[in-house]
Amino acid sequence: MTLTDADLTRYARHIVLREIGGAGQTKLRDSHVVVIGAGGIGSPAIQYLAAAGVGTLTLVDDDRVDLSNLQRQTIFGTSDIGAAKVDAAAKAVAGLNPTVQVRALDQRVAGAQAADIIAIADAVLDGSDNFATRLAVADAALTRRVPLVSAAVAEFEGQLGVFRGWESDKPCYRCFVGTDPERAEATCAEQGVLGALTGVMGSLAALEAIRACYPFGEDSAGKLLLVDALALRFRTLSLPKDTGCPACGIRRP
């Protein structure tokens, strides 16, 4: 299916980019991204993925919109308080770009179900707020060989990584964080978080999900972006593959 006249107008600023063009925009229209968490990271990511014309979005979150969310989760408005986040986000996507198909899953990801949720995705963007969910999603992405874009924020710091651990020279998420799902974690309510920083990290996560669907520029897998908003400093580190990693260190068939 070719791009319509409306598509050519809506996505004109993408299409004139030599690295994307009509072929890239068509690939985005045919792509499917799963977004885990519709909170601080997911909120801007969902908006930019929809605006970019990613054809199918699966949104996964079991939370409800709270007044305290609105400081950073800009996909929601005051009238959404009390609504399921995935339903409110789906409504916002329909208003922004009605050509995008949205699958809203009002549930928490756990265990084996993660693999089923992302089975046919072209990329999974994880902005969840707990380590157990991140590990479940990461393991599923590795098993299904789906590129994983993982982003996190706390206070004035953010981090972003892209993981394709099934490749011989690329780390998986467990190469980076280890394996302990019960380690202590502080919440946004306890630590605080700069709202605008979640917008930065969510937008960058959307960029990497788009790059996973239609590659352009340098490959970002195996790198970790660290953002320090207090110093306005961005650093990129190389992440080596852990040859002893129990998830990806053993050669897979």
Burial of 63 (0-12, 13-18, 19+ CB in 10 A): middle
Q: What are phi and psi of 155, to 5 degrees?
A: 55, -110
Joined together, the tokens standing for residue 73 give 């989760």
Does residue 188 carry a catalytic annotation? Answer: yes
The per-residue b/e assignment along 118-136, b for 16 or more CB within 10 angstroms, e otherwise, is beebbbbbbbbbebbbbbb
- CA nearest 88: which of 113, 71, 114, 70? 70
- Residue tagged active-site, from 172, 188, 213, 245: 188
Beta bridge partners of residue 155, listed in sequence order: 193
Any idea which residues carry the catalytic annotation?
A: 188
